[in-house]
């Protein structure tokens, strides 16, 4: 299983900036070197579990916020999640969601 360090680093940078923190301030909050934050944001290092937890606590976010899209997701899990979301929808709601998905899919594919 591969880890997307660059995607992780970009999300870390976005959450740090959203919290109006410099790399130095975030490093101080989690008791690490500023260069460690820089390496993580640039995607040259992978965080330890301990560092990941400290980052999430300092940024007041969940681990999944930083890891989203960093790990490959199995298609079966997505299929199950989508089926579960649709399970309590009425037929008209399902039709509306289908139309939304078709439009979104076209948009995504034309803006790649």
Per-residue pLDDT, 65: 86
pLDDT of 79: 81
- The Cα-based distances of 106 to 83, 87, 101 in angstroms read 21, 25, 9
Low-confidence ranges of the chain (pLDDT < 70): 1, 69-76, 112
CB neighbour list of residue 46: distance below 8 Å, 6 or more residues apart: 3, 5, 8
Determine the topology of domain 5-67 in CATH: 434 Repressor (Amino-terminal Domain) (1.10.260)
Are 5 and 38 a contacting pair, CB within 8 Å? no
pTM of the model: 0.62
């Amino acid at each position: 299983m591969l880890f997307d360090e660059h995607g992780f680093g970009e999300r870390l940078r976005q959450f740090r900036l959203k919290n109006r923190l410099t790399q130095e301030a975030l490093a101080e909050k989690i008791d690490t070197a500023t260069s460690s934050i820089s390496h993580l944001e640039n995607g040259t290092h992978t965080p330890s579990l301990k560092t990941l937890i400290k980052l999430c606590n300092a940024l007041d976010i969940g681990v999944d916020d930083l890891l989203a899209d960093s790990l490959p997701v199995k298609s079966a899990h997505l299929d199950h999640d989508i089926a579960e979301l649709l399970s309590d929808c009425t037929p008209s709601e399902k039709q509306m969601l289908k139309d939304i998905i078709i439009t979104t899919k076209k948009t995504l594919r034309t803006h790649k």
